[in-house]
Structure formats: C-alpha cells, structure tokens
Amino acid sequence: MIKPFRIDIPQADLDDLNDRLARTRWPNEVVDAGWDYGFPLARLRELAEYWRGGYDWREHETRLNELPHFTTGIDGQNIHFIHVRSSRPDAPALILTHGWPGSFLEFLDVIEPLSHDFHLVIPSIPGYGFSGPTHERGWDVVRVARAWAELMRRLGYERYGAQGGDFGAGISTALGAVAPEQVMGVHVNYLPTRPDPDAGIELSETDEARLDKVRQLMASRPPYQALQATTPQTIGYALTDSPVGQLAWIAERFAQWTDPRSQISDERMLTDVSLYWLTATAASSARLHREAPRRTEPCPVPLGVAVFAHDITQSVRPLAERLYDIRRWSEFERGGHFAAMEVPELLAEDIRGFFLTDIKDDHRPATPSSSSSTGPTGPTRSTGPTGARR
C-alpha cells in the first residue's frame, strides 16, 4: 500500500537538538591547525551556532512539504519517496537515487527542469532519512535495486530510466542488471574505474593521472570509509548522540568533495545534516558501506556517464567501456561529487540529452495506470530550500 506522507518533526525533538547544541563539549585545537588535523574548530563552531540560533527547520519543513511525499513497505522495510508527475502524460519515467552523506534533498534543484520531460520518482535509500533505519543484514545495493524495481512496478511504470551518483550510481546500475526489461538506460555522475594491469589498453596521460589518483585513494583508505565499512555501529553511537559530531562528519565531506566554486548554502547542508539527526539514521546509513562490497551482475542496459572535474575520482573511459554499453560520455570542468546540488543545470541537461536523444529509440510508454495515482497530474515546481553560501 502506498500512503501519502507529510514531514512533521515533533517539537520535542527540535528542542532536544537545540539543548544538545548549547551543551556541546568542544575539543581544543593546536595553533594554525587549518585542515591538517581534520575539520577546523572555528568553522565548525560557526556552523553549530548558526544551526542552533539562525537555522529554522520549520521553514524548510514547510517548503519540503510542498512536494508530494509518499511511503510504502517493500521487503519488510519502509520506503519514503517523492513522486512528481510531468505535465506530459506520455513522458518517460525516471528514478533518481542519492548517495551518502546525501539524501533526496540532493535533487531539489533538478526537479523543476526534469519534470518538464520526465515523471520523477525520488526515493530515500533504506536506512536513510524518512525511510528510517534498517533492522536486518543484507541491505546492499542489489537488494535496494530490487526494492526500486518493485516500487516502480507498484507505481505502474513498465519502462523507465535510472540515475544516480555515489551509492545512487551503484544502485542504478544494479537496477539495470536486475530489471533489464524495464530499465531503458542508466545515467550516472560517479563511476569508479580501478587500475587493471591486464586490460592491455593504451591510456592517455590524462587517464593515467586519473588512475594514479585512484591508486593513492586505495593505498590510504579514507578514515570515514574505513570506519563505516568495518564498524558502522561503533561510529553510530557517537553520531547519534552528538549533533556536532554528526555535523562535522557530514560537513567535512561537503567541504572536501565539492568544487570550491560551488554555492551549496549552509542552509541546504544543515537541512541534510538535520535530516540525518532527526531521523537517527547515522548508523543505519553507514551500514551500506559495509554491505556495499557485494558484487553485482554486469549492467546490460545503455549507460550515460557525466564526469565532473572536482569529484572524488574521475572515470577512465577506455576501462569503463570494457564493462558497459556507453552511449554518452560527458566531461565537465565545473562541479564535484554533489553534482545535482552544485551544478543542477549541467546535470539536468546531460540527463535529458541521454534519455531523450541518445537512447530515445529504446523508449516505451511510461504513463502509470490510473489505479496507481500517487500525486498531482502536473509537476510540482517547488525546489525546496535555497540560498547563497553564508
């Protein structure tokens, strides 16, 4: 059963957050530490003080509720999603999947441009946000993909595309593998390519430089990834008990993974952090890092790849082409890991070009049946909280 959902955080939870922020026990910091030891103290205090005294969750909650939210139960797990219908009844359907430490909030600025041409389904990964925590083992990217296939079936979509970055990219390609008859194509803005000495492919200097970056990351695994992939429960205690701990954990990723020219506002980032805090999903979202290494079947459907210059790593096309049927490969000088938030206009145009031009001959009617109606007949235009960097 699909049910309408409205965001309504109890005031007691907001009061508790403010109380905890007011009682933060701060560590000291060495002189001129900068970023050498981790997130700078002065910047974190600035964010925490604004979160407590200037940020208004209710304002963003009201804006977010302008979007059509729903929940349903799949495979024993609550699933939250947004469903925005295009004004074009014959528009293709598209499911957009976020990653970590993101959420459905990543896509707020692409809803309006994409809903002109697509029916949009934007779910929260099990263990994240309003989907709530998971309660059993095995929620890896393949299981999430199977849940997405069931979600789209319930909505009446027999044919659709998939898009994502970070974990959303892995879930989207897994969806193409588990439901190849339904998925017309997959577009990703993150596609790791590992060095392969047996590939026998001559690479350009640019590609070799990209692989060197990958080798450096593999040689010194990022601390956040090591903790979440090995002991997500342990780090979950600290993140679930301390809002400043949760803030630092996520804000560091935004600081390090974005293009320095990107204008992701403190308001938008704090809304994302608040979502993790208010739903107590720090530990359950981290578990996906532990579950994720399970291997998936090759993705047989057409693939579009958008490569952003300031992402964690950049894909190497000759290696990717050995594994995927690549129909579009776009390189962008602007943008980083959170492309939908950083450069929404570039990402939306690339998604549109891939599905409406590069693989349009693969389309079939995507209009859901009348019995599966879960939203307005036209698109919702609200894009949620916005604002320039403070």
Q: Per the domain annotation, does 132 fall within a domain? A: yes
Q: Per the domain annotation, does 383 fall within a domain? A: no
CA 314 to chain centre: 17
CA 127 to chain centre: 13
Percent of the chain surpassing pLDDT 70:
91
Tell me, what's the pLDDT at 382? 34
Q: How deeply is 151 buried, as exposed, middle or buried, from its count of CB atoms within 10 A (0-12, 13-18, 19+)?
A: buried
Structural domain range at position 321: 2-6+37-363
How do strand 93-97 and strand 77-84 relate by DSSP bridges? unpaired
Q: Per the domain annotation, does 209 fall within a domain? A: yes
CATH code of the domain covering residue 89: 3.40.50.1820
Is the predicted pLDDT of residue 295 greater than 60, yes or no? Answer: yes
One-letter amino acid for residue 56 of the chain: D
If you count them, how many residues does the chain have?
A: 390
Q: Per the domain annotation, does 379 fall within a domain? A: no
- CA atoms within a 13 Å half-sphere pointing along the CA-CB vector of 269: 27
Mean pLDDT (the chain) is: 91
**pLDDT average, residue stretch 275-297:** 89
φ/ψ bin of 309: left (φ > 0), alpha (ψ from -120 to 50), beta (otherwise): alpha
The H-assigned helical ranges of the chain are 11-22, 41-53, 57-64, 108-115, 141-154, 167-178, 205-219, 223-230, 232-241, 243-257, 266-278, 282-291, 317-320, 339-342, 344-353
Q: How confident is the model at residue 361 (pLDDT cuts 50, 70, 90)?
A: low
Q: How confident is the model at residue 218 (pLDDT cuts 50, 70, 90)?
A: confident
Tell me, what's the pLDDT at 200? 81
Is the predicted pLDDT of residue 349 greater than 60, yes or no? Answer: yes
Specify the pTM. Answer: 0.92
Q: Per the domain annotation, does 373 fall within a domain? A: no
Q: In this structure, are residues 44 and 351 in contact, taking their beta carbons and an 8 Å threshold?
A: no
Q: How confident is the model at residue 293 (pLDDT cuts 50, 70, 90)?
A: low
Is the predicted pLDDT of residue 365 greater than 60, yes or no? Answer: no
**pLDDT average, residue stretch 159-165:** 98
Helix (H) or strand (E) holding 338: none
Nearest Cα residue to 279 out of 51, 89, 61, 106: 61
Q: Per the domain annotation, does 22 fall within a domain? A: no
Q: How deeply is 104 buried, as exposed, middle or buried, from its count of CB atoms within 10 A (0-12, 13-18, 19+)?
A: buried
Q: Per the domain annotation, does 389 fall within a domain? A: no
* Tens of pLDDT, residues 115-154: 999 999 999 999 999 999 999 999 999 999 999 999 999 9
Q: What is the DSSP string of 47-115?
A: HHHHHHHT--HHHHHHHHTTS-EEEEEETTEEEEEEEE--S-TTPPEEEEE--SS--GGGGHHHHHHHH
Q: In this structure, are residues 265 and 236 in contact, taking their beta carbons and an 8 Å threshold?
A: no
**pLDDT average, residue stretch 248-261:** 97
Helix (H) or strand (E) holding 163: strand 160-164
State how many domains the chain has: 1
Q: How confident is the model at residue 366 (pLDDT cuts 50, 70, 90)?
A: very low
**pLDDT average, residue stretch 154-168:** 98
The rounded distance, in Å, linking the Cα atoms of 102 and 124 is 10
Q: How confident is the model at residue 360 (pLDDT cuts 50, 70, 90)?
A: confident
Percent of the chain surpassing pLDDT 90:
86
Q: How confident is the model at residue 195 (pLDDT cuts 50, 70, 90)?
A: confident
**pLDDT average, residue stretch 166-174:** 97
Q: Per the domain annotation, does 217 fall within a domain? A: yes
CA 184 to chain centre: 21
Q: How confident is the model at residue 202 (pLDDT cuts 50, 70, 90)?
A: confident
Nearest Cα residue to 350 out of 379, 383, 381, 327: 327
Is the predicted pLDDT of residue 374 greater than 90, yes or no? Answer: no
The rounded distance, in Å, linking the Cα atoms of 320 and 30 is 44
